[in-house]
Structure 1
Amino acid sequence: MSRSLRHGALAATAIVFSIASLAACGAGNDAATLQVRPDSAATTSGDISVQNANLITQPERDAEGPAVVSATLFNNGTQKQTLDTVSLPGTSASVKLHAAKGSGPIEVPAGGSVVLGGKGNASAVIENGREAAKNGSVQNVVFKFSTTGEVPLGVLVVPATSFFTGFGPSSLPTAPSKPATSPSNTPSGSATAGAGQPGSESDTDVPGDGESGVPSQD
């Protein structure tokens, strides 16, 4: 094969690959590029790095229940730190922190990491999720650590669907309905225990004061 033919073959091959790549990008919901997890917020302050941060709401738009802040917290320092608070500036929502085990603080070990959200992990729960920002918007979140202090960043608000299903909140349990009052087991008008029962003495059978119940002897 001549040099010009070889060059032509290489050029044709490059064009085929380019077309294939463009086709994959525009192939719709089944395109490989759409299977990549969406970008999430990340920032670094001092020894602390916050990555994959999102505010995840209920999967249904109008569902009542909590929301959560999901993130991975990295401690690049030589001393452990605790996550003291997570707050949402500009809202009245409060965030409750829960360690993965026990009731102590959420500790980020030196040279280690902690995941917020997901089964078996620590959690940052917004009890009234409706007070959080709307899906698709960006909400400011401030993580406050024991040594590094406040680490603010803007996170995307997303529903607990698709990639975020396993990290989202659970719906609040429905309060059980009040059971109907059952009738008393004691029939109406029945005698109280010990009165008129077999083997018991009624008031009329009890001797009066000073009486022995034994006939007197003249």
Structure 2
Amino acid sequence: MSSSLRRGALAAAAIAFSIASLAACGAGNNAQTLQIKPDNAATTVGDIKIQNAVVITQPDPESTGPAAVSATLFNNGSTDQTLESIRVDGTGKTAELKPVKGKELTVPAGGSLIIGGENNAAAVLTNGSEAVQDGDAQKITFAFSKSGDVSLKAFVVPAESYFTSWGPSEVPTAPDATENPATSSASPDEETSERQAGDASGDPSGDAGAEASASGTPTDSASASVSADADADTSGH
């Protein structure tokens, strides 16, 4: 199977699992469909429930850009909880958490928090190709302030089809720090070196050089000094 077909199949499978989960919820708490547990990433530990957890990679397999963790977190307790970290087990990688506002990702009491997608909080894995591989069911661990660690296996899929708007973006390239501005013809060090070279060779510089060039003749004080030296030499002989 070609790479593009395989990646498309992965995305389709993840979509099917998500739809199956939503259909079960819509049928009611006692529906028979709830007895069938689809192989999607969902788990409940204490007051915390995690649904539809997916790791979304770059659409280009050769890309070294980041991956993103997408999930919906529910807090059935009476106290707010903070999501402290998301770890990719077995890799040593931890996602960078980016709240929409403030400094923390909070799952409100009796409420939910969506991670991933436009205008939502984000969880980014830098250099995603080193952390996860498309097609894997990768174990990831969510750490909460009160419930502690909650682990589950999430599908790893490329940012294609349904997941296009939920996927990560390429890391912007940093400007070359060694590049000189186009408008600069010489650095300050070069200008200083040129001035020092001019002084060493006897070339006039600064205001003194400008005055000498403009007049072309010595000043009165200089002439008087020369005459005095000449008279002294004559009287000495």
Interval of TM-score (by shorter of Structure 1 and Structure 2): 0.5 to 0.7
Task: Say which SS state the counterpart of residue 42 (structure 2) adopts.
Answer: strand
- Tell me, yes or no, if the aligned pair for 2:69 and 2:123 is still in contact at 8 Å: yes
For 1:95, give the aligned amino acid.
A
* 1:4-23 alignment runs, 5 A limit: none
Quote the residue 1:11 is aligned against: none
CA distance in 2, matches of 1:206, 1:70: 87
Quote the residue 2:90 is aligned against: 90
Distance 1:108 1:184, change over 3 A: same
Quote the residue 2:129 is aligned against: 130
Distance 1:206 1:146, change over 3 A: farther
Task: Say which SS state the counterpart of residue 175 (structure 1) adopts.
Answer: coil
CA distance in 2, matches of 1:173, 1:107: 28
Distance 1:174 1:47, change over 3 A: same
Task: Say which SS state the counterpart of residue 155 (structure 1) adopts.
Answer: strand
For 1:128, give the aligned amino acid.
N
Q: What is the deviation of 1:193?
A: 5.6
CA RMSD of aligned residues (A): 3.2
CA distance in 2, matches of 1:194, 1:111: 79
* 1:1-218 alignment runs, 5 A limit: 37-39=15-17, 40-102=40-102, 104-177=103-176, 179-180=179-180, 182-184=184-186, 194=207, 196=209
Q: Unaligned 5+ residue runs, structure 2?
A: 1-11, 18-39, 199-203, 226-237
CA distance in 2, matches of 1:74, 1:154: 17
Q: What is the deviation of 1:132?
A: 2.0
Q: Unaligned 5+ residue runs, structure 1?
A: 1-33, 212-218
Taking structure 2 as the reference length, what is the TM-score of the superposition? 0.63
**Per-residue displacement from partner, 1:83-112 (whole Å, max 9, x unpaired)?**
01111111132211111113x111011111
- Tell me, yes or no, if the aligned pair for 1:48 and 1:74 is still in contact at 8 Å: yes
Q: Identity over aligned residues, as a percent?
A: 44
The farther-off stretch of 174-183 and 49-58 is 174-183
**Per-residue displacement from partner, 1:103-155 (whole Å, max 9, x unpaired)?**
x1110111111111112211111112112221011100100111111110000
Distance 1:58 1:206, change over 3 A: farther
CA distance in 2, matches of 1:193, 1:133: 65
CA distance in 1, matches of 2:172, 2:94: 19
**Per-residue displacement from partner, 1:49-95 (whole Å, max 9, x unpaired)?**
10110011111111111111110111111110000111111113221
CA distance in 1, matches of 2:111, 2:15: 23
Aligned residues: 172
Identify the structure with the greater helix proportion: 2
